[in-house]
């Protein structure tokens, strides 16, 4: 069974956008060569090597090569086999049965069985995964009548689940190494044992992670590479230079400064490619901490929204490679997007009026109040965006202290102690927004210490009802209408201000062949990649 039994995924295929940058010439007619080492860049350095306990993108980019999911996706977002060879969905959509691949081994030689799937789904995806806690909320049990059958039982239809079973989103972890442990602190999060195409070898902190070919991989003949090395290069200019001179062959997730894109894509030895990111559909946001009494005032949040020139931000800091956002779902996610939402035009006079009305008038020094801003330290554009926002708010009398820290520090501050006023960065909505968006606004997703959830403290009964209706909706059209209502509600309450619709890019050497360019290509293992020379 290779087609999606829930037609919502078929609808989502219409959302895919064409490449923004230079398309890669097809190597489909070439015979892959075996062997060699591919040096890649991932920045920032991962914090762990599984997305199940922390799903930030550096962790995923490396760990998809180590772990498998139950399924993968083709270019049309139809399901194709991975650890599961076939599957059936019951007519009432309450039972999903997976028939697992036989003969698969964990990297330590232990057999992969349905017990691993049950443990991963119930003890990891449902309990500690920041998105999985919502995605699998309706999952009540996984029955294992034998070693190669896993039967998922749901209390209500959950149309999002089949969008969430690939190696990036729902990695299957080994029960025999995780059962009875503190999953968040298990040492295998740093020295992983998976079933995927590459095995973990070493992690030199601050330098690189090395993976080696899994000779027992179930997908016969793959991977083609002998070794895969991920280097950490904090400086954007140094990353660009490493790609240009050939020291590095592959780098995803906006690896070079946006200012260098026009120059880099003209280089004869490099390819700049924007396909491969549609599945996780990101937007850039400003999130308010509603625990701060100043920001708890809706007039202040709306005033800040009017103070920011989003088109100017897109054109200057992001070099026109992104677009201003109108809401929390990007416009290219056409199946769920609506432009019929409250909007906040760039209007500093409106900002001044709202702040005066809220009682925050300018003092003798022109300052109304001061706040701290923390930003995700993923690349230099995130810092530049923070500085741009600081300047926008300074013009209307809001003094902003921009705080910089490493990724671990940012996560602790924003999602651990909630010690922030505003934070900015990117958020993955995904091609089915239930997979990513809801966790940022549902009150039940507030979970101290769990990153990429509801950090604002936003808790609204009407919003919660909309989210819970979306999660249990069995009719795709009704579900879309509910998503439209949710966007209107969020844009009215404004716990998060959407700033930009993001489109990311990958840079790789022309001798690197087999790079996946499907909707989740950048989130896929490099098992099909080979070196032409």
pLDDT of residue 8: 42
pLDDT tens, residue by residue, 141-154? 999 999 999 999 99
72/448 Cα distance (integer angstroms): 31
Q: Of the candidates 186, 209, 163, 180, which has an alpha carbon nearest to the alpha carbon of residue 52? A: 186
* Cα 348-354-357 angle, rounded to 5 deg: 140
* Lowest-confidence region among 41-55, 71-85, 410-424: 71-85
pLDDT tens, residue by residue, 332-387? 888 899 999 999 999 999 999 999 999 999 999 999 999 999 999 988 899 999 99
pLDDT tens, residue by residue, 168-195? 999 999 999 999 999 999 999 999 999 9
Sorting pLDDT into bands at 50, 70 and 90, what band is 331? Answer: very high
pLDDT tens, residue by residue, 446-497? 989 888 899 999 999 999 999 999 988 888 899 999 999 999 999 999 999 9
pLDDT of residue 283: 97
pLDDT over 80 at 11, yes or no: no
pLDDT over 50 at 18, yes or no: no
| Domain ranges, ordered by start, for the chain | 279-501
pLDDT tens, residue by residue, 26-73? 444 689 999 999 999 999 999 999 999 998 899 999 999 999 999 998
- State mean pLDDT over 312-328: 95
209/37 Cα distance (integer angstroms): 13
396/351 Cα distance (integer angstroms): 7
pLDDT over 70 at 20, yes or no: no
- State mean pLDDT over 91-107: 96
pLDDT over 50 at 267, yes or no: yes
pLDDT of residue 14: 39
pLDDT of residue 278: 87
Query: b/e for 305-320, b at 16 or more Cβ within 10 A?
Result: bbbbbbeebbeebbee
Q: How high is the mean pLDDT of the chain? A: 92
CATH architecture for segment(s) 279-501: Roll (3.10)
pLDDT over 70 at 499, yes or no: yes
Please say whether the dihedral angle defined by the alpha carbons of residues 278, 134, 337 and 288, taken in this order, is positive or negative. negative
55/131 Cα distance (integer angstroms): 8
* Lowest-confidence region among 73-77, 155-159, 238-242, 447-451: 73-77
Q: At 387, which helix (H) or strand (E)?
A: helix 380-395
pLDDT of residue 474: 80
pLDDT over 70 at 415, yes or no: yes
CB 218 within 8 A of CB 104: yes
pLDDT of residue 75: 80
pLDDT over 50 at 2, yes or no: no
pLDDT of residue 22: 37
pLDDT of residue 414: 97
Dihedral (C-alpha) 346, 349, 350, 352: value to the nearest 10 degrees?
120
Sorting pLDDT into bands at 50, 70 and 90, what band is 77? Answer: confident
Number of other CB atoms surrounding residue 267 within 10 Å: 15
pLDDT of residue 29: 65
Both tokens assigned to 408: 């671990």
Number of other CB atoms surrounding residue 263 within 10 Å: 12
pLDDT of residue 10: 39
* Lowest-confidence region among 167-171, 275-279, 286-290: 275-279
**Percent of the chain scoring above 70 in pLDDT:** 95
């Amino acid at each position: 069974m290779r087609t999606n039994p829930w037609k919502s995924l078929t609808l989502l295929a219409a959302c895919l956008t064409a490449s923004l940058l230079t398309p890669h010439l097809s190597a489909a007619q070439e015979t892959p060569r075996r062997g060699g080492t591919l040096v890649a860049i991932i920045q920032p350095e991962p914090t762990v090597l599984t997305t199940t306990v922390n799903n930030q993108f550096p962790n995923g980019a490396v760990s998809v090569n180590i772990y498998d999911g139950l399924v993968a996706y083709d270019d049309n977002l139809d399901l194709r086999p991975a650890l599961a060879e076939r599957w059936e969905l019951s007519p009432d959509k309450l039972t999903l049965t997976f028939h697992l691949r036989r003969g698969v081994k964990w990297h330590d030689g232990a057999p992969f069985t349905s017990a691993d799937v049950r443990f991963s789904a119930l003890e990891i995806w449902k309990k500690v995964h920041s998105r999985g806690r919502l995605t699998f909320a309706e999952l009540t049990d996984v029955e294992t009548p034998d070693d190669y059958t896993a039967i998922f039982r749901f209390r209500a239809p959950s149309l999002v689940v089949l969008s969430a079973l690939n190696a990036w989103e729902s990695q299957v972890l080994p029960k025999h190494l995780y059962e009875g442990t503190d999953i968040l602190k298990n040492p295998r999060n740093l020295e992983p044992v998976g079933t995927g195409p590459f095995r973990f070898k070493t992690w030199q902190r601050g330098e690189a992670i090395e993976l080696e070919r899994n000779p027992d991989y179930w997908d016969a003949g793959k991977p083609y590479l002998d070794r895969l090395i991920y280097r950490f290069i904090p400086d954007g200019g140094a990353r660009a230079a490493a790609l240009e001179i050939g020291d590095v062959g592959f780098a995803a997730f906006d690896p070079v400064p946006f200012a260098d894109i026009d120059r880099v894509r003209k280089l004869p030895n490099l390819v700049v490619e924007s396909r491969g990111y549609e599945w996780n559909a990101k937007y850039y946001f400003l999130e308010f901490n509603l625990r701060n009494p100043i920001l708890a005032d809706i007039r202040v949040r709306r005033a800040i929204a009017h103070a920011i020139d989003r088109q100017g931000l897109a054109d200057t800091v992001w070099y026109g490679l992104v677009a201003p956002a109108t809401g929390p779902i990007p416009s290219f996610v056409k199946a769920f997007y609506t432009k019929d939402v409250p909007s906040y035009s760039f209007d500093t006079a409106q900002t001044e009026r709202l702040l005066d009305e809220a009682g925050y008038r300018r003092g003798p020094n022109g300052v109304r109040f001061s706040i701290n801003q923390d930003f995700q330290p993923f690349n230099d554009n995130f810092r530049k965006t923070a500085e741009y926002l600081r300047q926008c708010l300074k013009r209307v009398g809001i003094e902003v202290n921009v705080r910089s820290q490493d990724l671990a520090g940012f996560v602790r501050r924003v999602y651990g102690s909630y010690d922030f006023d505003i934070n900015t960065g990117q958020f993955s909505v995904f091609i089915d927004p239930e997979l990513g968006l809801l966790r940022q606004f549902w009150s039940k997703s507030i979970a101290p210490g769990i990153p990429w959830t509801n950090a604002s403290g936003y808790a609204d009964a009407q919003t919660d009802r909309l989210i819970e209706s979306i999660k249990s909706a069995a009719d795709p059209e009704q579900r879309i209408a509910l998503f439209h209502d949710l966007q209107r509600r969020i844009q009215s309450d404004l716990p998060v201000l959407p700033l930009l619709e993001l489109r990311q890019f990958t840079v790789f050497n022309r001798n690197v062949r087999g790079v996946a360019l499907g909707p989740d290509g950048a989130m896929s293992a490099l098992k099909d990649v080979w070196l032409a020379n």
